[in-house]
Structure 1
Amino acid sequence: MKRTIIIIVFIVLYILVTLFGLGPVLLADGTMRERVITLIVVIAIYSVVTWGFRKALKWSKKAS
């Protein structure tokens, strides 16, 4: 049960990062520099979320 909740929470996080992160990168009318900076930030956020997801899954296995 705990593992399912963790997975659902992180799926929602990935969807939010995709919607609010990649949307501005692909659809923004700013300069290419602004898009690249936004893309770098979005990739960093994806990395942090993925790291947190892996840690949470390991924690849930340990707690079981």
Structure 2
Amino acid sequence: MPPRRVAFHSSPSRRFLVPHLTIAQGQDDAVLEEVEAGLRGRLPVTARVSSVDLMGHDGTRWQQ
């Protein structure tokens, strides 16, 4: 999977990352439509985390 650009939201008091989650990619249209139907009404996902790992992709592999 190619590297993704990270999106930022800014407000007057803070700036924060907007995470990205790939559910399906490169599948037949029928599979993508089934996945979309299964997720409809369940997004967006909202959660708090206590830590994260930042990973980078050099075009060949992911690394921390």
Bigger proportion of residues as strand: 2
**TM-score using structure 2 length:** 0.27
Query: RCO greater where, 1 or 2, for CA within 8 Å and sep 6 or more?
Result: 1
Comparing both structures, which one devotes a greater share of its residues to helix? 1
